Amino acid sequence: MIRLSNVSLTYESTDGTEIHALAGIDLQVAENEFVVIVGPSGCGKSTLLKLIVGLLRPTRGSVMYRGRPVEDTIQEVGMVYQSPVLLPWRTVLGNVLLPIEILRRDPAAYAPEAAKLLEMAGLSAFARKTPRELSGGMQQRAALCRALITDPALLLMDEPFAALDALTRDEMGQELSRLWEERKKTVVFVTHSISEAVLLGDRVVVMSPRPGRIVRDIPIGLPRPRTNVKHLGPAFTDYVEEIRELIYSFKGERDAAPPP
Amino acid sequence: MRRRRLRAFLGQYGHPLLTLAGMAAAWHAATAWFAIPGWLLPSPRAVGEVLYAFGHLLPQHIWVTLAETVAGFLLSIAVGVPLAVLIVWSPVLQRTIYPIILAAQSIPKVAIAPLFLIWIGYGMFSKILVVVSVAFFPIVVDTVTGLMAVEPDLLDMVRVLRASTLQTFLKIRLPASLPYFFSGTKVAVTLAVIGSVIGEFVGSDKGLGYLILVSGSQLNTAMVFGVLAILSAMGIALFVIVEGLQKVLCPWSVGR
């Protein structure tokens, strides 16, 4: 579905120095696959998402979506960020329907779908409330409903649970897994949490610090649903350890390298 | 219901009102105790008496100053908001006009007020322009800040959906800027009162500023204090009106 070939992105920072954000990225994501990208901060994970969706152009290489080069932005995509970025002057329902309005479709026609999504997210009672009457976890669930309202084929999630407390975070991960199994979608999910990556992903793609490269692409062969870490046994811990060692090895390299 | 309202009112304003009453009492006591002459510091009672005695003269002056203030304030919004929109919309204006506007803020408005008198004349409009010259800045600056203070992730999200500039403006930037617009407006409305007084100081034959000048020159200090009290009441009333509008138009920006 998505194919990045030899993608590099270089930009000029405000003081005129060239910054190599990404270098030689080759990445393929198949239809209905759940791919998680992990890596140290500043390795260009978010930049990668912007390239996929067409918000940024690569300096070199090509980005293909469903066999065609990405030129304009891909409209059939849902985006979820670390912060829910809900509009405080709209109700929860109004926020969920925002993409419909922007696409100039009839919001009334999507009201049943919005109601269904909110029910799935456990927010039915809050449809007419404003975002600030909701807890952080509920706001993020509303943001997920907003991303799903167009029933997009692709879901891009940029550290969506990073701002939540640990308990809510686990719960949201479970809910996302369940949702993904119910309505098959392609998901590209960026996170800092290694265990989250292993729990959610079909594949975990590990990136190096800047310039971001893909250093390993690990298929996760754990059975689903992965609700209980205990049932997954030592295989789960093995994956987590493998990725953790990889990421720590960068840290060593960076600390050993002379300052630029 | 009425009782609860009264309690809410006292909870919000009770302490400052009591403090003010205490200060007035101390002031009154001091003038009596030390036998301060009325032309130097009149007692609050003397101020009240003068206001009562000249009560028939006050409304026309209040009306003139209020009209100048409100007209100048509204004109500041009418000019300031479209200008802020243009500045945010056009990178060229952002680089050329906006820095000049920011720099012009440092010009002392008292010093340019005589220019308006020379150019426009003695009438009300020159005072309105002085008001605009002080009230316009906070409105432009805060509205610009508000229009640009939209989370980049949100802008990315609507860009992915290929939102038009107009859609982004109407559905996101404009409502997002309202709280900033109102905080600028609240500063502007109190400055507007100062602006009209400055305008009247420079040259006029009516208005509360004129009344202060005349009373001062006649050593009618009680009247000066009385007019000052009226001016503050006017400023507070206008502020409360703007704040009330904010509560109606963007309740999400007002504390729970």
Q: What is the value of ipTM here, to two decimals? A: 0.86
Chain B neighbors of A143, CB-CB under 8 A: none
Q: What does the pLDDT look like over A100-119, one tens digit per residue? A: 999 999 999 999 999 999 99
Distance from CA of A237 to the nearest CA of B (A): 34
Q: What does the pLDDT look like over B83-133, one tens digit per residue? A: 999 999 998 999 999 999 889 888 888 888 889 888 988 889 999 999 999
> Crossing angle for the helix pair B44-53 and B2-33, nearest 10 degrees?
110
Who wins on pLDDT, A170 or B63? B63
pLDDT of residue B11: 82
A53 in reach of chain B (CB within 8 A): yes
Q: Token pair of B61, please?
A: 């002056």
Are the beta carbons of B252 and B180 closer than 8 angstroms?
A: no
Q: In this model, does residue A257 exceed pLDDT 60?
A: no
Are the beta carbons of B212 and B197 closer than 8 angstroms?
A: yes
Q: Token pair of B236, please?
A: 């507070």
Q: What does the pLDDT look like over A213-255, one tens digit per residue? A: 888 998 998 888 787 777 778 888 889 899 988 888 876 665 5
Are the beta carbons of B216 and B225 closer than 8 angstroms?
A: no
A46 in reach of chain B (CB within 8 A): no
Are the beta carbons of B227 and B212 closer than 8 angstroms?
A: yes
A235 in reach of chain B (CB within 8 A): no
Are the beta carbons of A27 and A2 closer than 8 angstroms?
A: yes
Chain A neighbors of B174, CB-CB under 8 A: none
A53: nearest CA partner in chain B: B160
Give me the residue from A77, A85, A130 closest to B151, CB to CB: A85
Mean pLDDT calculated for residue range A48-77: 90
Q: Token pair of B148, please?
A: 């640009």
Give me the total of CB pairs closer than 8 Å, taking one residue from chain A and one from chain B. 56
pLDDT of residue B191: 94
Chain A neighbors of B176, CB-CB under 8 A: 87
pLDDT of residue A231: 75
Tell me the residue ranges of DSSP E strands in B138-232: none
Q: What is the mean pLDDT of chain B?
A: 91
Total-model pTM: 0.84
Q: Which residues pair with A18 in a beta bridge?
A: A12
Torsion of CA A220, A226, A230, A236, to 10 degrees: 10
Q: What does the pLDDT look like over B64-76, one tens digit per residue? A: 999 999 999 999 9
Mutating which of B153, B157, B181 best tests the A interface, going by the most A Cβ atoms within 10 A? B157
Strand arrangement, sheet containing A18-29: A18-29, A2-12, A60-65, A68-69
Q: What does the pLDDT look like over B227-238, one tens digit per residue? A: 999 999 999 999
A189 in reach of chain B (CB within 8 A): no
What percent of chain A is predicted at pLDDT more than 90?
50
Identify which of B196, B201, B209 has the alpha carbon closest to the alpha carbon of residue B133.
B196
Strand arrangement, sheet containing A214-219: A77-80, A154-158, A186-191, A34-38, A203-207, A214-219
pLDDT of residue A227: 75
pLDDT of residue A16: 80
A230 in reach of chain B (CB within 8 A): no
Band the pLDDT of A163: cuts 50, 70, 90. Answer: confident
Classify each residue of B29-44 as buried b or exposed e, where b means 16 or more C-beta atoms within 10 Å of its C-beta: eebeeeeeeeeeebbb
CA distances from A207 to A24, A39, A76, B130 (A): 12, 5, 26, 60
Mutating which of B151, B161, B167 best tests the A interface, going by the most A Cβ atoms within 10 A? B161
